[in-house]
Chains A and B, each alone.
Chain A
Amino acid sequence: MVVYLLCFILFLVGLYGVVTRRNLVKIVISLSIMEFSVFLFLALIGYVHDGVVPIVDPANPDARYVDPLPQAMVLTAIVIGLATTAMLMSVIIRIYRKYKTLDIREIKNLRG
């Protein structure tokens, strides 16, 4: 139970960062923290106490295996997260070239 709570706290830390930080790069870092807390949660779902690697061993039919599906999901989600982060960082580089600043308070052309 403690692990899940820590995982949730990590999620909230990331959310706090996204809401309060003013620097674009720090917002992206906070988003990544949230992302990894969710990945951690997914990996925890598949955890089985005393479980082993899910490769079926005919010699040991009663073995307890961890659930491999959340692991596959996490792998896919990490790849997607990588694409999102790369996209965000490239946009930040472009923004820095145009605005000469990373402060979100000075980037406000769009309002209303």
Chain B
Amino acid sequence: MNPLIPLFVAVPLAGAFLTMIFGKFVKNLNRYIGLIVLLFLAIISYYSIVTVSGTVSVYKVGGWEPINGIPIGIYMVMDSLTAILLCIINTIGLLAVFYSFTYISQYTSENYFYALFCLMVAGMNGVVLSGDLFNIYVFLEISAISSYALVAFGVEREQLEATFKYQVLGGLASLLILLGIGFIYWKAKTLNLADIKVALGSAPEKTHYLLVQMLLLSGFGLKAAIIPFHAWLPDAHSSAPSPISAMLSGVLIKAAGIYVILRLFFNMFIISEEVAILITTLGALSMAVGVFLAIGQWDIKRLLAYHSISQMGYVVMSVGVGMILVARNTKPEVASLAIAGGLFHLINHAAFKSLLFLNAGAIEYRIGTRNLQEMGGLSQFMPATSSTSFVASMAISGIPPFNGFFSKLIIIIAAIMAKFYLLALIAVIVSIITLASFMKFQRYAFYNKEVQKDEKSPKEVPFPMVASMVTLGILCLLLSLLVLPQVRDIVLKPAIDILMNSQMYISPILGM
């Protein structure tokens, strides 16, 4: 039993609670509570990723031991994949909170902001730690409801419209997920992920199985904004305050969407080839359509939001290639390479996309507009913002030596080795269009116009914002180190092993 596991949920919940009670009386207490909570979580998540290394540790909530080998309590499971996701969530969360110190002071009721932020982090940590299907749903709703409120934080016309759209589609997604859970419980009579795999057996009833898979895929696909389900994402992610956009785009769609799809389809279901091909197709589709929708945008944050769809397409496509190979039971080393590429790109996307959203927030903070046509020549006034956004733009478009290059390279190599030449071609073309789109962003925002420096010209943003952006920029470079075999074996390899071999996940949980 790992005593750290419940802290990932309990500490941010307590933080939200304390903020709401004491935040009103002591000035600036709310932001320090938020910072301390996230700092603590980040430290214990780094500790976990170092110590977990291939083991699976289980925490039984309330100490309910299994009876006759049947798990009856709620299980929280920490394995390597979970540890990676926890690191992403809490690192980006920490930097977003620090960034909010000055950014959110433009808004009223900061107390609610920090309380909702802690709740959202608690929900996401819960989703990735949970080993129980219904518990995933509950934590998903905690993070979703707090993100609905945070998207509408400005309570202006656009934010309200965006949050309404987000809530209706998010509610629909939750219902599909709940219906899927109901159908699973009907046949399996259990909710524990590992136990479901055992209960449904190796030769499940085909129609029921497919129905459940489709319900859960569309539910979590809505949460992850894979292409046919993407309508809410550009609105919600562009209307939210910038640190929240960074959290939504950088973390929420991964923790609540992609992670759960990975966990369910690799560890709970037996992957069938049809479903794997469907997932790959959806991934390739969102990769291509997302980038074409992005290229015509003039609003920075909408542009970035469409790129989120496209970059998530890379992850889904790559993981889907891995799934196809696992289902065919051929070329395990190529399958593990494809999954490695997907996971690596997931980590990288968290770093550079949150950085880009923080840059967009910094520009909006100083200029007051998000329209690319109304800016220009900012590089001489805001050197830190300009240089970090250059780093992030190069990383997302896959220019060496930044992290995005290596993950895209692995994805493309894996697709070629698996003989999916068309997918590799699409990935290359999308990467080139992404580069073009970010060239446009760089040019219109930071260059393009010669402006004389005078008193009215914009200054660099305050220290907390600069510090967060620079840290993320350095992370974009450092994450390239994950491509080295020594580092990859510690971080990525155990997670891939867990996904490829679900027995490694099931045995420790059921105590077999």
* Interface segment out of the listed A49-57, A58-66, A75-83: A75-83
Task: Tell me which residues from 1 to 58 in chain A have a Cβ below 8 Å from any Cβ of chain B.
Answer: 11, 18, 24, 27, 31, 34-35, 38, 41-42, 45
A91 touches B157 (CB 8 A): no
Task: List residues of chain A with CB within 8 A of the CB of B179.
Answer: 11, 38, 41
Q: Are A45 and B182 in contact (CB under 8 A)?
A: yes
Of all chain A residues, the one with the shortest Cβ separation from B177 is A38
Asked whether A112 lies within 8 Å of B302 as measured between CB atoms, the reply is yes
Cβ contacts under 8 Å, A83 to chain B: 141, 145
Could you say which residues of chain A place their CB within 8 Å of the CB of B302?
112
CB proximity of A42 to chain B, nearest CB, Å: 5
Report the Cα distance A82→B358, complex, angstroms. 34
Interface string of B149-174 (1 = CB under 8 A from A): 10010011110111111011001101
Given the known inter-chain contacts A98-B156, A110-B239, A112-B297, please indicate yes or no for A84 contacting B161, CB distance below 8 A: no
| In the bound complex, CA of A16 to CA of B224 (Å) | 24
Bound form: Cα–Cα A94–B156 in Å = 9
Q: Mark B163-203, 1 if CB is under 8 A from A, else 0.
A: 11101100110110011011001100101000000000000
A80-B164 contact given A18-B172, A34-B175, A42-B182, CB 8 Å threshold: no
Are B160 and A98 closer than 8 Å at their CB atoms? yes
Asked if A87 contacts B148 (CB within 8 A), the reply is yes
Q: How far is the CA of A108 from the CA of B165 in the complex (A)?
A: 11
CB distance from B38 to the nearest CB of A (A): 24
Choose one: B141, B160, B167, B181; the contact of A94 (CB below 8 Å): B160
Q: A41-B179, A70-B185, A77-B178 are in contact. Are A91 and B168 (CB under 8 A)?
A: no
B275 interface residue, CB < 8 Å from A? no
Residue ID in chain A nearest B302 by CB atoms: A112
Cβ B175 vs Cβ A110 within 8 A: no
Q: Are B167's CB and A107's CB within 8 A?
A: no
Q: Of A18, A98, A110, which is within 8 A of B235 by CB? A: A110
Q: If A38-B182, A109-B157 touch, does A88 touch B175 (CB 8 Å cutoff)?
A: no
Cα(A42)–Cα(B175), bound, Å: 12
How many residues from B make CB contacts under 8 Å with A? 38
Q: B158 touches which one: A18, A31, A73, A109 (CB < 8 A)?
A: A109
Q: Does B381 contact A (CB under 8 A)?
A: no
Interface residue? B277 (CB, 8 A): no
For the complex, count residues of A whose C-beta is within 8 A of B.
33
Note all chain A residues with C-beta closer than 8 A to B161.
95, 107-110
CB B178 to nearest CB in A, in angstroms, measures: 5
Q: Is there an interface contact between A92 and B164, defined as CB atoms closer than 8 Å?
A: yes
From A24, which residue of chain B is reached at the shortest CB distance? B164
Are B182 and A91 interface neighbours, CB within 8 A?
A: no
Find out whether the CB atom of B158 lies under 8 angstroms from the CB atom of A110. Answer: yes
Note all chain B residues with C-beta closer than 8 A to A73.
134, 181, 185
Give the one of B168, B181, B296 with max A CB within 10 A.
B168
Is the Cβ of B162 less than 8 Å from the Cβ of A87?
Answer: no
B39 at the interface (CB under 8 A from A): no
Cβ distance A102 to chain B, nearest Cβ, rounded Å: 11
Asked if B138 CB lies within 8 Å of chain A CBs, one says: yes
Contact indicator B185/A45 (Cβ below 8 Å): yes
Query: Which of A35, A69, A107 contacts B175 (CB under 8 A)?
Result: A35
**Residue among A24, A91, A112 having the largest count of chain B Cβ atoms under 10 Å:** A91
Whether the pair B162, A110 counts as a contact (CB closer than 8 A) is yes
- B120 CB, nearest partner CB in chain A, Å: 14
Query: In whole angstroms, what is the CA distance A69 to B192 when docked?
Result: 13
CB <8 Å contact, B141 and A80? yes
Contact of A84 among B138, B141, B191 (CB under 8 A): B141
Which residue on chain B has the smallest CB distance to residue A104?
A: B164
Judge whether B141 and A95 touch: CB under 8 Å: no
Chain B residues, CB < 8 A from A84: 141, 145, 167, 171, 174
A46 to chain B, nearest CB (A): 9
- The answer to whether B158 and A91 have CB atoms under 8 Å apart is no
* Distance A100 CA – B301 CA, assembled complex (angstroms): 28
Query: With A80-B138, A91-B152, A98-B157 given, is the CB distance from A42 to B178 under 8 Å?
Result: yes
Query: Which chain A residues lie closer than 8 Å to B171 at the CB level?
Result: 31, 35, 84, 88
Please give, as numbers and ranges, the residues of chain A lying within 8 Å of B137 by CB-CB distance. 77
Taking a contact as CB atoms under 8 Å apart, the answer to whether A88 and B167 are in contact is yes
Residues of B within 8 A of A95 (CB): 160-161, 164
User: With a CB–CB cut-off of 8 A, which chain A residues contact B141?
Assistant: 80, 83-84
- Listed by A's residue number, 20 A-B pairs whose Cβ atoms lie within 8 Å are A18-B172, A42-B178, A42-B185, A45-B185, A69-B185, A73-B181, A76-B134, A76-B138, A77-B137, A80-B138, A80-B141, A84-B141, A84-B167, A87-B149, A91-B163, A94-B155, A95-B160, A98-B156, A99-B157, A110-B162
Pairs A-B, 9 closest by C-beta atoms: A80-B141, A110-B235, A95-B160, A42-B182, A45-B186, A98-B157, A38-B178, A109-B158, A31-B171
Q: Which residues of A contact B (CB under 8 A)?
A: 11, 18, 24, 27, 31, 34-35, 38, 41-42, 45, 67, 69-70, 73, 76-77, 80, 83-84, 87-88, 91-92, 94-95, 98-99, 107-110, 112
Given contacts A18-B168, A110-B162, 5 further A-B contacts (CB under 8 A): A34-B175, A70-B185, A77-B178, A84-B145, A110-B161
